[in-house]
Chains A and B, each alone.
Chain A
Amino acid sequence: QVQLVESGGGVVQPGRSLRLSCAASGFTFSNYGMHWVRQAPGKGLEWVAVISYDGSNKYFADSVKDRFTISRDNSKNTLYLQMNSLRAEDTAVYYCAKDLGPSGSQALDFWGQGTLVTVSS
């Protein structure tokens, strides 16, 4: 069965960096687009970034553009989110999610359990 397991969350000071990982199993990882979606405490869902099946296309929400980078290692079935210049408003649970298709422009059919990132001094 499809499994997505995020890791790397924690408490970090404003301005510092953090890298999240998402280990995928149960499907052919290299065939699908992958996303990061976040949810601030008590708030709704916010899409963060997407990467196509082969890593050739990457897109970001305006709120994280130029600070966050998304990447993938298809040989390791792992998705990454590099977060730089973190701000208090980046505090959220971060979910990785699988797209229905290869380009990352459809629906998110499987989600991980999430990892909490807290940006605080």
Chain B
Amino acid sequence: DIQMTQSPSSLSASVGDRVTITCRASQSISSYLNWYQQKPGKAPKLLIYAASRLQSGVPSRVSGSGSGTDFTLTISSLQPEDFATYYCQQSDSTPPNLTFGGGTKVEIK
């Protein structure tokens, strides 16, 4: 099975900061990497799919990059509504065996 490792597991940042979260796959997954945001008590929300494609309605300050085993999610200027937990998820397995990273909690400094 493909394992997904996110870092850091948590971070503190201020409004306006640039924030980067990394996700590493245990083997190459090409660009089959997705990012989700989850707020407490709410369902996850898709932000980025196929490593760098912005989901409709997601603000352009959010971006994704990477391929192979190393990926990043970047928020260029953190806004109050961005404080949440972020998960990466791979979709490269055949047959489908989606796996999520452990999550990164973005907290207010």
A: which residues have CB within 8 A of B?
Answer: 35, 37, 44-47, 50, 57, 59, 61-62, 95, 100, 103-114
Contact = CB atoms under 8 A, between A and B. Distances in A.
Given A57-B95, A59-B96, A95-B43, A44 B87 contact: yes
A113 B42 CA distance: 7
Interface in B24-59: 34, 36, 38, 42-46, 49-50, 55
B96 A103 contact: yes
Contacts of A113: 42-43
B44 A61 contact: no
A40 to B, nearest CB: 12
B11 interface: no
Interface stretch (B13-21, B67-75, B76-84, B98-106): B98-106
B91 interface: yes
B25 to A, nearest CB: 15
Contact of B97 (A45, A59, A111): A59
